[in-house]
């Protein structure tokens, strides 16, 4: 075989196999390593140049302006579209429309406006000849009652429609103008509480666009509040504000927002343990003992002040406060109702729980099981108070309460679904699946096919006309 001299001075055999080529390469490296790694160095420097150009491009004012403009355009379009969807949904029939004598949740909210506008505060939760608690008696916390009074005062003094809230005589009132009024109260409330929280969080980078879109376009929330008719957007929005302040390490404001959420709907208790464990862990992880005590006392003081202000009209007489508390937690209603398919429904079929045990005993049993299901993740959050662990714990606690707690309402799944939207970037497949399943559950539970023009409910069968 002939030998040829390479430019580097290393002899290389022509026509040899791969082993010879390998040894030749080794010899080349040993002879002149600097030239051997020249290409690698060139590639590395090329990558660095590309990165530097990308950084320079991102720092370019024109590029930044175009990126911000594009992002803002997408967000604005998303917000407008989500509002349009809510508005269109609100034009279809609502819960209990034209179905006397009890009607539905729409009449429930209207009746609460009637009661709160016409009766003194200390009679809102008391059964009387003027306030029949068997006809949609008020059973939400005081902040929700104040909201209903505000709506009722607006109807009476601004809209000039006394007949909408006239005591006793307005029961079951229905009209096109009143429907538009009630629908708009939900939409405006949604914008004030829910939209403001996610948009403000997106604006400063606390929430990303996937989170914003998941919350605004979650069908379950839209169908229940703007189709069926409720005001879940208030308590959910306040909770999102509390989560926002957790993100930004503002424990006092977070405590205030979540306390308001609790005082609007008691279902917010589903999230009480995650907030408790995180705020306690955060308060005890400060740089010094003095800061630990200061933070802990500040959180406790904030909660006491908020509850004191909201409950102040009922604290002049202890009996009034006790009556409100009894209305908020009606143990006598039983372990569950036939509208919620949590764990107790199938177990009751097998074990006959409601026949064998008293409501008080079932209340204690369900509370204990719920606490046991939440406490492991809660302790982990207490020991590791990070925002990531906190968001996962919100979903765990919400699902645990929905599955095991006493007298679960069908809308309780919202308390787990909306926090799940905050994890859509981390768990896109699981969150999408969960939101889809929860939405389908609402459609079948409430027979929400009536929101579409060609479908009607006959008995328990859905038929296409």
Rounded CA separation 455/312 (Å): 48
Nearest to 184 by CA among 214, 224, 229: 229
Rounded CA separation 383/323 (Å): 38
Rounded CA separation 206/385 (Å): 17
> Total domain count for the chain?
2
Q: 6 falls in which pLDDT band (50, 70, 90)?
A: very low
Mean pLDDT of 389-402: 96
Full DSSP string of 358-388: -HHHHHHHHHHHHHHHHHHHHHHHHHS--HH
pLDDT of residue 44: 54
Mean pLDDT of 98-127: 94
CB neighbours of 91 closer than 8 A, spacing ≥ 6?
A: 183
Asked whether residue 153 is domain-assigned, the answer is no
Full DSSP string of 146-170: HHHHHHHHIIIIIS--GGGS-TTTT
pLDDT of residue 330: 86
Lowest mean pLDDT among 33-42, 69-78, 167-176: 33-42
pLDDT of residue 332: 83
Beta pairing, strands 455-458 & 3-5: unpaired
Q: Mean pLDDT score of the chain, rounded to an integer?
A: 85
- Tens of pLDDT, residues 338-394: 666 689 988 888 999 989 999 899 999 999 999 999 999 999 999 999 999 999 999
Cα angle 129-133-227, degrees, rounded to a multiple of 5: 130
pLDDT of residue 462: 33
Rounded CA separation 365/370 (Å): 9
Cα angle 53-59-65, degrees, rounded to a multiple of 5: 125
The alpha carbons of the chain give a radius of gyration, in whole angstroms, of 31
Q: Are 234 and 186 in contact (CB under 8 A)?
A: no
The boundaries of the domain holding residue 27 are: 1-32
Asked whether residue 55 is domain-assigned, the answer is no
pLDDT of residue 428: 94
- Tens of pLDDT, residues 263-286: 999 999 999 999 999 999 999 998
Asked whether residue 295 is domain-assigned, the answer is yes
pLDDT of residue 38: 47
Tokens of 248: 């930004």
Asked whether residue 362 is domain-assigned, the answer is yes
Lowest mean pLDDT among 8-22, 152-166, 221-235, 362-376: 8-22
Q: 46 falls in which pLDDT band (50, 70, 90)?
A: low
Supply the pTM of this predicted model. Answer: 0.82
Asked whether residue 139 is domain-assigned, the answer is no
Q: 13 falls in which pLDDT band (50, 70, 90)?
A: very low
Rounded CA separation 448/230 (Å): 14
pLDDT of residue 257: 98
Mean pLDDT of 426-447: 82
The residue that leads in pLDDT, 460 or 302, is 302
Across the strands, what pairs with 457? 462
The residue that leads in pLDDT, 412 or 18, is 412
Mean pLDDT of 11-32: 44
Rounded CA separation 215/234 (Å): 14
| Residue 76: φ, ψ to 5° | -60, -45
Asked whether residue 396 is domain-assigned, the answer is yes
In this structure, which long-range contacts are made by residues 378-383, counting pairs with CB atoms below 8 Å and at least 24 apart in sequence?
A: 378/273, 378/274, 378/276, 378/277, 379/277, 381/274, 381/277, 381/278, 381/281, 382/277, 382/278, 382/280, 382/281, 383/281
Does 447 score more than 60 pLDDT? no
Full DSSP string of 278-306: HHHHHHTTSSSHHHHHHHHHHHHHHHHHH
The residue that leads in pLDDT, 46 or 112, is 112
Asked whether residue 156 is domain-assigned, the answer is no
- Tens of pLDDT, residues 143-184: 999 999 999 999 999 999 999 999 999 999 999 999 999 999
* Residue 343 CB coordination number (10 Å): 15
- Tens of pLDDT, residues 309-339: 999 999 999 999 999 999 999 888 888 876 6
pLDDT of residue 371: 95
Does 410 score more than 80 pLDDT? no
Kindly tell me the burial class for residue 196, based on how many C-beta atoms sit within 10 Å of its own C-beta (0-12, 13-18, 19 or more).
middle
Does 426 score more than 90 pLDDT? yes
Asked whether residue 283 is domain-assigned, the answer is yes
* Residue 118 CB coordination number (10 Å): 18
pLDDT of residue 450: 41
Q: 463 falls in which pLDDT band (50, 70, 90)?
A: very low
pLDDT of residue 465: 33
pLDDT of residue 128: 93
């Amino acid at each position: 075989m002939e030998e040829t001299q390479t430019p580097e001075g290393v002899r290389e055999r022509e026509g040899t196999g791969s082993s010879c080529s390998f040894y030749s390469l080794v010899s080349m490296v040993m002879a002149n390593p600097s030239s051997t790694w020249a290409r690698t160095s060139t590639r590395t420097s090329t990558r660095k140049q590309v990165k530097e150009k990308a950084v320079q491009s991102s720092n370019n004012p024109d590029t930044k302006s175009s990126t911000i403009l594009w992002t803002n355009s997408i967000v604005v379009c998303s917000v407008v579209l989500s509002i349009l969807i809510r508005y269109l949904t609100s034009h279809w029939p609502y819960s209990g429309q034209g179905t006397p004598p009890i009607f539905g949740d729409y009449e429930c909210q209207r009746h609460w406006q009637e009661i709160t506008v016409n009766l003194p505060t200390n009679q809102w939760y008391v059964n009387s000849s003027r306030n029949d608690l068997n006809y949609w008696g008020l059973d939400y916390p005081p902040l929700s009652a104040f909201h209903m009074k505000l709506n009722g005062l607006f109807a009476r003094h601004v809209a000039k429609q006394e007949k909408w809230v006239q005591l006793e005589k307005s029961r079951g009132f229905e009209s096109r103008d009143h429907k538009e009024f009630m629908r708009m109260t939900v939409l405006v409330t949604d914008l004030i509480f829910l939209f403001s929280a996610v948009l403000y969080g997106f604006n400063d980078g606390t929430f990303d666009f996937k989170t914003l879109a998941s919350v605004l376009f979650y069908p379950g929330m839209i169908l229940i509040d703007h189709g069926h008719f409720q005001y879940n957007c208030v308590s959910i929005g306040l909770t999102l504000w509390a989560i926002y302040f957790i993100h930004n390490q503002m424990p006092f404001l977070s405590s205030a927002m979540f306390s308001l959420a609790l005082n609007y709907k008691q279902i917010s208790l589903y999230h009480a343990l995650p907030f408790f464990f995180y705020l306690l862990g955060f308060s005890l992880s400060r740089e010094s003992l003095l800061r630990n005590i200061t933070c802990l006392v500040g959180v406790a003081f904030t909660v006491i002040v908020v509850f004191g202000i909201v409950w102040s009209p009922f604290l002049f007489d202890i009996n009034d406060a006790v009556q409100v508390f009894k209305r908020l937690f009606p143990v006598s209603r039983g372990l569950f109702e036939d509208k919620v398919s949590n764990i107790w429904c199938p177990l009751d079929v097998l074990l006959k729980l409601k026949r064998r045990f008293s409501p008080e005993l079932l209340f204690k049993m369900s509370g204990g099981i719920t606490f046991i299901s939440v406490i492991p993740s809660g302790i982990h959050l207490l020991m590791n108070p990070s925002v990531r662990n906190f968001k996962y714990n919100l979903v765990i606690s919400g699902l645990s309460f929905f599955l095991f707690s006493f007298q679960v309402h069908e809308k309780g799944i919202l308390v787990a679904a909306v926090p799940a939207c905050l994890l859509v970037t981390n768990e896109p497949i699981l969150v999408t699946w969960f939101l889809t399943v929860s939405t389908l559950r609402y459609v079948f539970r409430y027979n929400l096919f009536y929101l579409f023009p060609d479908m009607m409910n006959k008995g328990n069968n859905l038929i296409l006309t």
